[in-house]
């Protein structure tokens, strides 16, 4: 039995800051304990000291617990351990920063066992939130236990008086019970916390302190990022109080202090978002003469709106950024240079092609473009990207016929440093990564080997790529467009193209008609060339136009463009020359019969043009002026052709 004077001779305090020592680690937390008696304070002190922990411990009472807790938090303590009837009051006020030292059944049984030496009938005080198995303890100890339940200090004193009025004089409880019982002349036995409960409470306190510090670090990092952000940020509570704002918000709204922000809540849609819990996205408003892009969102927790946040962008600055991105993409050649308007023609096949481009471009469906060489398949791919939702993202072209397998694989998927001999230091990102968010165009995909086809299929299925020599997957998001002058289904039947890859690539198929099937478009195509060269339509006489229409154009539009450019260069300043044009066609079959079919069509036609000039120069014994007259072109035009060939050491006589 303890008398009141022995329990509370003086307030006990240990002001040492809690510290937990681990090998090579020092992490300090400020933790304090509020207890109801010097006896419990001694127990907590001894137990924590044995474990190498130092905690500030204070003895308090029901009357002063809240004020003591508030003072300790103001002094910088992070978490409070509480043992006593006041703990519920402290928890209601300070929540998660309060940790209970549990009052276990063992604590109570030990106290009851000591009290039983005085009386077979003992009163046990317990908060209404505490569940106690009274019958079990009565059976175990062979005594009668009177439960005294309370919620407030006033209720506790009233219930103790009622119990003592029924003749019960011995009580087991905490510090609050001890004060009242001692004042009323009863006997009190304190329940003492078990060491394991103290250790568990400290462990929970450490976890809470760690989490609180981590949350504070995260909050500080987020606030630092928002402060450095070039977009303005304003965050409100549900009561319209400003929780956070950055300096950029003041700058964009052209105000000097945070108290001036409230008048901008309506034009920033903050009031409406708080009222209706619906976001306002990409709204352009003008405030103080500045155009701003506003995005305002509700903040919610458990389906309840707890606030709102507004992000403010300077429209003029966004336009500058967009121009910079466009310039960067253009400088790297990662843009679509053409749109559907650049597809020239009014034939039924062209009209249908443009309609299909408009239909399929806004989707992410894969597109297979088929057409003969020179029909403009890449132009169609550019147009599809330019009209898509990915138009502002990269457009990357892969020429499958131009690269050998090992190089194509490393270019497509990227590689790590040391993946192969000659690999760039630091490795290299692949074209899939370069095109991420945009479009990847595979030109002449029919020439891709089976090995690369298989790896491409895996990437398209998984939407992730692994570098050559790498060991991690990189997520990619690209739209795939492919083209081939070969029929892919014919290649599938021949066993040179995978059927599963065909199904992955050919979501829809666009057919580009050959020039011979759309001859009504020839005048428009020629007019476009004449416009580029600044020539009048009169240079193409009806006889020349008739010759063009009679020809089959195996090289399609590319061949037509090259022939027209050759004609216009040879023509020079002359008004027209049927002889020059006929000379081109007269020598065409002869030249192609003996000329090696290598290089692009443009390179072959340039060689063909040079062959015509060389032949005429030989016939005219190297006389440039005479050869120019025979070809029907100006002297200066002939000279330009010959000078361009000077690197090939063609000997001519002036």
Q: What is the pLDDT of residues 353-394, one digit of tens each?
A: 999 999 999 999 999 999 999 999 999 999 999 999 999 899
Strand residue runs (E) in 352-478: 367-370, 395-399, 439-443, 464-466, 473-475
pLDDT at 13 over 70: no
31-102+198-207 and 229-317 share one fold: no
Q: How far apart are CA 106 and CA 244, in angstroms?
A: 49
Q: Which CATH superfamily is domain 333-508 in?
A: P-loop containing nucleotide triphosphate hydrolases (3.40.50.300)
pLDDT reported for residue 596: 45
State how beta strands 232-237 and 242-245 pair: antiparallel
Average pLDDT in the 277-290 region?
A: 90
Q: Give the pLDDT score at 329.
A: 54
Q: Report, at the CATH architecture level, how domain 105-192 is classified.
A: 3-Layer(aba) Sandwich (3.40)
Q: How far apart are CA 186 and CA 1, in angstroms?
A: 11
Q: Considering the chain, what percentage of its residues have pLDDT values greater than 70?
A: 87
Question: Is-contact 433 459, C-beta < 8 A?
Answer: no
Given a cut of 80, whether residue 415 has pLDDT beyond it is no
Residue pLDDT, tens place only, 495-542: 999 999 999 999 999 999 999 999 999 999 989 888 888 888 888 888
Q: How high is the pLDDT of residue 328?
A: 61
- Alpha-carbon distance values, 141 to 174, 188, 546, 577, 617 (Å): 20, 18, 120, 126, 128
Question: Does residue 427 come out as left (phi exceeding 0), alpha (psi in the -120 to 50 range) or beta?
Answer: left
Encode burial over 347-364: b for 16+ CB neighbours within 10 A, e otherwise.
bebbeebbebbeebbeee
Q: Which residues contact 341 (CB under 8 A, 6 or more apart)?
A: none
More confident residue, 61 or 460: 460
Q: What is the pLDDT of residues 181-212, one digit of tens each?
A: 888 988 888 878 888 888 888 888 888 988 98
Strand, helix or coil at 363? coil
* Sequence-ordered alpha helix ranges (H) in 463-532: 488-494, 499-505, 522-532
Better-scored residue on pLDDT, 338 or 18: 338
Instruction: Count CA atoms within 13 Å of residue 450 on its CB side.
Output: 8
Average pLDDT of the residues in 60-65:
83
Q: Could you confirm whether domain 31-102+198-207 is CATH 3.40.50.620?
A: no
pLDDT of residue 43: 84
Q: In whole numbers, what is the pLDDT of the chain averaged over residues?
A: 82
Give the residue from 237, 242, 231 showing the smallest Cα distance to 264.
242
CATH 3.60.15.10 fits 229-317, yes or no: no
Q: Locate the domains of the chain by residue range.
A: 31-102+198-207, 105-192, 229-317, 333-508, 515-590, 601-651
pLDDT of residue 331: 55
The DSSP symbol for 497 reads: S
Give residue-wise pLDDT tens across range 247-260.
899 999 998 888 88
For 515-590, which CATH class? Answer: mainly alpha
Alpha carbon distance, N-terminus to C-terminus of the chain: 132
Residue 303 has a pLDDT of 75
Q: Tens of pLDDT along 132-152?
A: 788 888 888 889 989 998 888
**C-alpha span between 453 and 447 (Å, rounded):** 10
Confidence of residue 154 (pLDDT cuts 50, 70, 90): confident
Provide CB contacts within 8 A for 494, sequence distance 6+: none
* CA separation for the pair 308, 238 (Å, rounded): 7
Give the model's confidence band at 3: pLDDT under 50 very low, under 70 low, under 90 confident, else very high: very low
CB contact at 8 A, 340 and 360: no
pLDDT for the residue numbered 371 = 93
Instruction: Read off the pTM.
Output: 0.48
Task: Provide the pLDDT for residue 1.
Answer: 36
The pLDDT of residue 378 is 92
């Amino acid at each position: 039995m303890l008398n009141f004077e022995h329990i509370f001779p003086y307030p006990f305090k240990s002001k040492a800051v809690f510290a937990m020592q681990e090998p090579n680690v020092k992490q300090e937390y400020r933790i304090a304990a509020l207890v109801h008696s010097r006896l419990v304070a001694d127990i907590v002190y001894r137990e924590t000291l044995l474990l190498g922990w130092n905690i500030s411990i204070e003895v308090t009472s029901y009357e002063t617990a809240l004020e003591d807790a508030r003072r300790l938090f103001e002094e910088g303590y992070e978490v409070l351990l509480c043992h006593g009837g006041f703990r519920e009051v402290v928890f209601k006020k300070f929540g998660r920063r309060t940790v209970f030292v549990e009052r276990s059944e063992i604590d109570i049984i030990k106290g009851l066992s000591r009290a039983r030496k005085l009386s077979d009938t003992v009163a046990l005080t317990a908060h209404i939130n505490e569940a106690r198995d009274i019958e079990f303890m009565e059976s175990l100890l062979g005594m009668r236990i009177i439960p005294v339940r309370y919620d407030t200090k006033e209720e506790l004193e009233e219930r103790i008086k009622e119990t003592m009025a029924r003749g019960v004089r011995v009580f087991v409880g905490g510090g609050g019970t001890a004060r009242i019982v001692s004042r009323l002349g009863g006997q009190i036995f304190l329940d003492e916390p078990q060491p394991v409960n103290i250790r568990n409470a400290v462990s929970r306190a450490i976890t809470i302190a760690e989490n609180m510090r981590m949350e504070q670090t995260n909050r500080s990092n987020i606030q630092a990022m928002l402060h450095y952000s070039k977009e303005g940020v304003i965050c409100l509570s549900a009561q319209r109080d400003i929780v956070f704002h950055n300096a950029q918000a003041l700058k964009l709204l052209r105000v000097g202090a945070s108290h001036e922000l409230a008048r901008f809540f309506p034009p920033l849609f903050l009031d409406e978002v708080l009222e209706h819990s619906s976001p306002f996205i990409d709204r352009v408003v003008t405030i103080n003469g500045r155009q701003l892009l506003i995005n305002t969102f509700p903040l919610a927790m458990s389906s309840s709106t707890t606030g709102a946040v507004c992000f403010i962008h300077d429209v003029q600055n966004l336009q500058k950024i967009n121009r910079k991105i466009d310039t960067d993409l253009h400088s790297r050649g990662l843009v679509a240079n053409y749109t559907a308007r650049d597809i020239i023609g009014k034939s039924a096949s062209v009209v249908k092609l443009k309609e299909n481009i408009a239909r399929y471009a806004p989707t992410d469906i894969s597109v297979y473009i088929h057409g003969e060489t020179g029909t403009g398949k890449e132009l169609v791919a550019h147009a599809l990207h330019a009209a898509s939702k990915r138009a502002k993202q990269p457009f990357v072209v892969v020429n499958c016929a131009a690269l050998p397998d090992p190089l194509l694989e490393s270019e497509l998927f990227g590689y790590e440093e040391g993946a192969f001999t000659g690999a760039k230091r630091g490795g290299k990102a692949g074209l899939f990564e370069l095109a991420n968010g945009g479009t990847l165009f595979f030109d002449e995909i029919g020439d891709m080997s089976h090995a690369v086809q298989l790896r491409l299929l895996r990437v398209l299925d998984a939407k992730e790529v692994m570098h050559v020599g790498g060991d991690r997957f990189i997520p990619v998001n690209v739209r795939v467009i492919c083209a081939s002058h070969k029929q892919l289904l014919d290649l599938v039947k021949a066993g040179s193209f995978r059927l599963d890859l065909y199904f992955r690539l050919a979501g829809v198929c666009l057919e580009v008609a050959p020039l011979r099937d759309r001859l009504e478009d020839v005048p428009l195509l020629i007019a476009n060339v004449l416009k580029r060269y600044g020539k009048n339509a009169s240079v193409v006489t009806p006889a020349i136009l008739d010759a063009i229409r009679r020809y089959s154009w195996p090289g399609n539009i590319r061949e037509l463009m090259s022939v027209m450019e050759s004609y216009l260069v040879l023509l020079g300043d002359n008004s027209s020359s049927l002889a020059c044009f006929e000379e081109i066609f007269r020598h065409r079959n002869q030249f192609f019969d003996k000329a090696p079919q290598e290089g692009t069509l443009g390179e072959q036609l340039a060689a063909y043009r040079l062959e015509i000039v060389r032949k005429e120069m030989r016939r005219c014994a190297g006389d440039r002026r005479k050869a120019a007259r025979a070809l029907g072109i100006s002297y200066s035009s002939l000279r330009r052709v010959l000078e361009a060939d000077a690197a090939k050491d063609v000997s001519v006589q002036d």
